[in-house]
Chain A
Amino acid sequence: MNDTASTTLAQRNKASTKALFVWTLAWLLSLALLAFGPKLLWNFSVTISLAVIAVNLVFGYCMIITNKKYLDGLDELQRQLHMNAMAISLGVSVVFGAIYGLLEPARLLDSTPSPSNILFVMGISYFISLVINFRKYQ
């Protein structure tokens, strides 16, 4: 149940968006630290790398829970728009990921496919779908 007695929808959305931004930023920074730290900061120390991985997983968990709370705090139309965007994003990512994985064996791509490209497609398709959906109900 939403805490509708004390706060308005706009106030709840603002607070949950801020929390989501903070945890997403923390997760991204810890990911960047893990990407560049071993070579640039701690000379591939396994202990430090494992500690940063643990921090990244904790931040990731917090980001996921905050995202769920964010969605729970939306009203029903907003939730439906996000759900539609997620459906489109998941579908596009599956189709793109399947084809992308076959590009190298088919010798249409020289480099090994990187999973981060699929995350990029997922994010972009989610954003575009969300914008189109919101405009439709404006």
Chain B
Amino acid sequence: MKNRLKVLRAERNWTQSDLAKALDVSRQTINAIENEKFDPSLPLAFRAAKIFALPIEQIFDDGE
């Protein structure tokens, strides 16, 4: 699944570790999501949306 995590993170000058801590996941998970190797669960996607104060669809795109 395509996503804008990397861009949104860069806009805020956050490292992968910063975002991982905010989302309560490992840095490895953030890296895997950013590189589209792993799709986050709905609760994790909602947490990301809350942290970035954006609707989910502005962060994640299923490509359809």
Contact = CB atoms under 8 A, between A and B. Distances in A.
Contact of A9 (B25, B41, B44): B25
Contacts of A138: 28, 31
Given A137-B37, A137-B38, A76 B25 contact: yes
Contacts, number: 36
Interface of A: 2, 4, 8-9, 75-78, 80, 134, 136-138
Contacts of A134: 28
Given A137-B31, A137-B32, A75 B24 contact: yes
Given A2-B24, A9-B26, A75-B24, 6 more contacts: A9-B20, A9-B25, A75-B25, A76-B29, A77-B25, A77-B28
**Interface size class, chain B:** 10 to 19
Contacts of A2: 24
B24 A9 contact: yes
Interface in B5-46: 20-21, 24-26, 28-29, 31-32, 37-38, 40-41, 44
B32 A77 contact: yes
B39 to A, nearest CB: 10
A76 B42 CA distance: 11
